[in-house]
Amino acid sequence: MLSLIGIFFFLFFGAISGVSAVQNIEVQGADYVNNVTSDRFQIIGIAYQPGGSAGFIAGSGVDPLSNGTLCLRDAALMQRLGINTIRVYNLDPSLNHDLCASIFNAVGIYMLLDVNSPLPNESLNPEDLSSSYNSAYLNRVFGVVEAFKNFPNTLGFFSGNEVIQFPGSEGVAPPYIRAVTRDLKQYIARHSSRNIPVGYSAADVRDFLADTFAYMSCAIDGSSSDETRIDFFGLNSYSWCGGDATFQTAGYDILVQMFGNTTIPVFFSEYGCNEVKPRVFDEVQAVYGPEMTRVMSGGIIYEYVQEANEYGLVDLNDNGTASIRIDYDNLQRQFNELDIERLQSGNSTATTLEAPRCSPGLISGGSFSKSFRVPSLPSGAQTLIDNGIQNPNIGQLVEVEETNVEAEVYGSNGGVIQNLAIRPLPEDQSNTPSGQDTTGATSTGTPRGEEPESTGGAGHLQMNLLLTCAVFVGLALR
């Protein structure tokens, strides 16, 4: 009898210590789709790079996802904002990211990750592509994959960011971007337990944009399994500026037409013009409106932390505290107006589209590359792909034991936000706007009309196990 009791208590407490995970998001045709619910996934995102590019220093032991205390604070504020995706640009694959990734997982926030960095030999050099595309560079790229492949909230990897933007780059860079995309896909296929999408983030240079999209998204020989083809396309665009902008003046109507026949997800990998301050984010209603979402899959606001370029939503103070800016409040109000049910409704046609066959006829610009001959792997790279990199730093989910934010955070009115905490989501949901108002000192960290969840995504399962164990223990004692 006692052994029976022991078994059930072991099962129960083992379940309590388990780590819940968000559901994977997959690329199906032109949409992101939840692999369990089949709901469409629209990116409601924000760029997350505290310190900016200048703050990323090799060997410093610090990157945006290496400090769990800071990630806890920022995840709590992002959850209240309604964010479901972060984009992180500069990562050190040798660091431990387990706690930060697990915190964002717990609150239903996915991660889009750049595999390159601004440091020497850690990205393609548009002025010296053949030399910068080497096995040492790919070793670094594959290291990022190893560090994040096991996190279920890893939404995808960017193989490049704005590589094509300066005159001359459009003629030589495209084949190399397809090469890195291929290399990433091959490495993921051999060393990851699931397929993780790989895409490209383009500058909004209208002279090159349509050709960049056509070149990257077509399939060589018409095969949808073409490993050099991107799985998604991001656009860094700041064309909607201020409260007087419209769908037409911002050129959103042109984007809808340009991407109208897309066979992969397209989204704003950066948006949020700051020419008018504070930002009012009127474009949010257009980005997630019916006309835009029939073609595109949301966007990523630039950016979370206020830096010298003045795009931030939150000030990080020297004394370790943080202060919300009025821009945060304005964006929160815009997100709270979104029709989430409509955004999650699927489109069976969009998920079954086939990629166009690559051909010079897809390219309209006279200077843009019309060659689809992708560079061969550099010396030593095939061994990396076949055997994996040496001594990989493989990330894994860990239990998030602390949910309360200890550091003081001030609302835009100067008052301290009380009881700020993350709220682990039940049933492994992704985060959505919840109608919260984070302007003042009386905030409690719990959405209106909801009770706090302290058990995490596996809370309901754990409660059911507790009740089940109680019943069996009772029977064993009879």
CA-CA distance, 293 to 73, in Å (whole number)? 31
202: helix, coil or strand?
Answer: strand
Encoded amino acid at 155, one letter: L
Tell me the sheet residues that pair with 412: none
Is 310 designated active site?
no
Nearest residue to 22 via CA among 1, 2, 8, 39: 39
CA-CA distance, 429 to 138, in Å (whole number)? 34
Q: Active-site residue among 122, 162, 227, 303?
A: 162
In angstroms and rounded to an integer, the radius of gyration of the C-alpha atoms of the chain is: 23
What does the DSSP assignment read for 30-76? TEEEETTT--B--EEEEE--TTTGGG--TTSS--TTS-HHHHHHHHH
How distant, in Å, are the alpha carbons of 21, 60, 299, 445, 460 from that of 27? 19, 35, 16, 33, 29
CA-CA distance, 102 to 118, in Å (whole number)? 26
Residue 331: CA atoms inside 13 Å, Cβ hemisphere, count? 34
| Centroid of chain to Cα 97 | 15
What tokens appear for 364 in the block? 């309209």
> Do 257 and 248 meet the contact criterion of CB atoms below 8 Å apart?
no
Encoded amino acid at 422, one letter: I
CA-CA distance, 206 to 210, in Å (whole number)? 7
What tokens appear for 54 in the block? 């200048």
How distant, in Å, are the alpha carbons of 71, 363, 458 from that of 207? 39, 12, 49
Nearest residue to 178 via CA among 217, 152, 139: 217
Encoded amino acid at 80, one letter: R
Is 451 designated active site?
no
Per-residue HEC secondary structure of 106-143 comes to HCCCEEEEECCCCCCCCCCCCCCHHHHCCHHHHHHHHH
Length of the chain: 478
DSSP state of 26: E
Q: Active-site residue among 26, 270, 283, 303?
A: 270
DSSP state of 378: P
Strand-strand pairing, 232-236 and 43-47 = unpaired
What tokens appear for 460 in the block? 């309901």
Q: Show which residues are catalytic.
A: 162, 270
